[in-house]
Amino acid sequence: MSAAPIWHPSPNYGPRRDGALPDIVVIHYTAMDDAARARDWLCAPEAEVSAHHLIAEDGTHWHMVDEAMRAWHAGAGAWGAVSDVNSRSIGIELANTGAHPFPEPQMAALEALLTRILRDWAIPSERVIAHSCLAPGRKIDPGPRFDWLRLARQGLAVSVEAGWVQPDETLADTLLRRAGYTAPVDAPTRLQAFRLRHRPTGSGPLDGTDMGLITALAGRYPVDALSLTS
């Protein structure tokens, strides 16, 4: 069982805009080689950055911003119709440089945290996303070493399986937008962000494996997903 979170408040937050409530969870890595140093940076006023939670490699969990408040973790980007992702999300930082796998104590603590967040805020697993999903071409975290399938097996994230489908670049880009990849980037960058999350070994032009996965993923989202208010 994971230890209780340690309250370590950051001053870097504000109210969620327009009365928004969190309905997205964004997973990041710190890109720093020391969890305590990352914690201190997320709490430094001059950093102008924060997250609601930070989990170290050994499972130590710091709670830094009240989930009802707006932390400064997402930056520029979009997910579905949401352009102010900070106002609609809870940000979780994982201590990792991106160069190594995420250890068991850290993943166990993340699973416990996600289980509680999704229950408390009634957030569906389809809206647990990577930082790279909302900021294609700008961010890559939590990167190709993160075990999304492990979360999906517990209903804490989305994973899709599909066979080969005839590739169609125009349709693929439309379906990716429907699935949430709406940041203002070109189609190859959008495909790269999708692959980073769902097929990290993929490369080159859109192929039939990509097309099958994209089609299956889009089927998890309502046709009118982009009509949601931002």
Active-site amino acid positions? 93
In angstroms, the CA 50 to CA 228 distance is 26
Query: Residue 215 is encoded by which pair of tokens?
Result: 């089609």
Q: Are 24 and 80 in contact (CB under 8 A)?
A: no
List, in sequence order, every residue forming a beta bridge with 79; answer none if it has no partner. 82
Query: Residue 165 is encoded by which pair of tokens?
Result: 């489908």
In angstroms, the CA 226 to CA 82 distance is 9
| Residue 26, Ramachandran bin (φ over 0: left; ψ between -120 and 50: alpha; else beta) | beta
**SS3 at position 48:** coil
* Apex 69 CA angle, 56 and 144, nearest 5: 40
Query: Residue 36 is encoded by which pair of tokens?
Result: 């305590």
Q: What is the dihedral of CA 39, 41, 42, 46, to 10 degrees?
A: 160
